[in-house]
Amino acid sequence: MTSTPVAPPASATGDAPAVLFDAILTPHRSLGPRGFALLMGFVAAVNVGLGVSFMLRGAWPIFGFCGLDVLLFYVMFRLNYRSARMFERVRLLADEVVVERHEVGGKRQSWRFQPYWLRVSMDDPPEHGSQLVLSSHGQSLAIGSFLTPAERLDLARALRDALAAQRDPIGT
């Protein structure tokens, strides 16, 4: 998750609204490309070793199943990495909060809330199933479901702070 809670200045032409808060939420994947290559190499080596040992004992069909095992392992990891390409973006502008969800297949959804009436709900302390929910005028939206509970709580606090600063710019 990355966020920019500081407002950048409006464009020189004045046509772009000032962004008071901007957070891009992305799923975390702890295994990088190098780690994935090492893991696949280890899994392949173990399966080839097992397959050869079964083949030497006369159970040669097992060797093919060991190859299928490695292929299935590879495909599942690739699907997992593909799902990590989705992201959500939360922006607080002067007159609205915009939440965009970008799916893996290119589908994009957008929700808009009036910031003065927006309520940010999150359990504190967070539990595993705690959701970060934005609600206003009977409309509710859970965001950041792929984040850890602590990350969701940090986002909720940052968004609440940005909304409070936007509602009371003087700080009184």
Number of domains, the chain: 2
| pLDDT at residue 10 greater than cutoff 70 | no
Tell whether 74 and 109 lie within a shared domain.
Answer: no
Overall average pLDDT of the 47-61 stretch: 91
- Residues of the chain with pLDDT > 90, as a percent, come to 48
Tell me if 101 is assigned to some domain: yes
Overall average pLDDT of the 43-61 stretch: 91
Which pLDDT score, from 0 to 100, does residue 171 have?
A: 60
Tell whether 74 and 93 lie within a shared domain.
Answer: no
Tell whether 61 and 93 lie within a shared domain.
Answer: no
Which pLDDT score, from 0 to 100, does residue 34 have?
A: 92
Note the pLDDT tens digit of each residue in 76-134. 988 888 877 889 999 999 889 999 999 888 899 999 999 988 999 988 787 888 899 99
| pLDDT at residue 72 greater than cutoff 90 | yes
Which pLDDT score, from 0 to 100, does residue 48 have?
A: 92
| pLDDT at residue 12 greater than cutoff 60 | no
- The listed range with the strongest mean pLDDT (24-28, 30-34, 126-130, 156-160) is 156-160
Mean pLDDT of all residues belonging to the chain: 85
Tell me which DSSP letter residue 85 carries: T
Tell me if 172 is assigned to some domain: no
- Judge whether 50 and 60 are in contact, CB under 8 Å: no
Tell whether 22 and 101 lie within a shared domain.
Answer: yes
Which pLDDT score, from 0 to 100, does residue 11 have?
A: 46
SS3 7: coil
Which pLDDT score, from 0 to 100, does residue 15 have?
A: 64
CATH number where 94 lies: 2.30.29.30
Tell whether 100 and 76 lie within a shared domain.
Answer: no
Tell me if 130 is assigned to some domain: yes
Q: Cα separations (Å) of 35 from 7, 27, 127, 163?
A: 38, 18, 30, 40
**CA torsion, points 125, 87, 102, 120, in degrees to nearest 10?**
20
Give the bridge partners for 108, in sequence order.
Answer: 102
Tell whether 72 and 110 lie within a shared domain.
Answer: no
Tell me if 71 is assigned to some domain: yes
Last residue of a domain, one of 67, 83, 99: 83
| pLDDT at residue 6 greater than cutoff 90 | no
- Residues of the chain with pLDDT > 70, as a percent, come to 89
Who wins on pLDDT, 129 or 1? 129
Domain that holds residue 137: 2-9+18-29+88-167
Q: Return the beta strands (E) in 19-60 as ranges.
A: 19-25
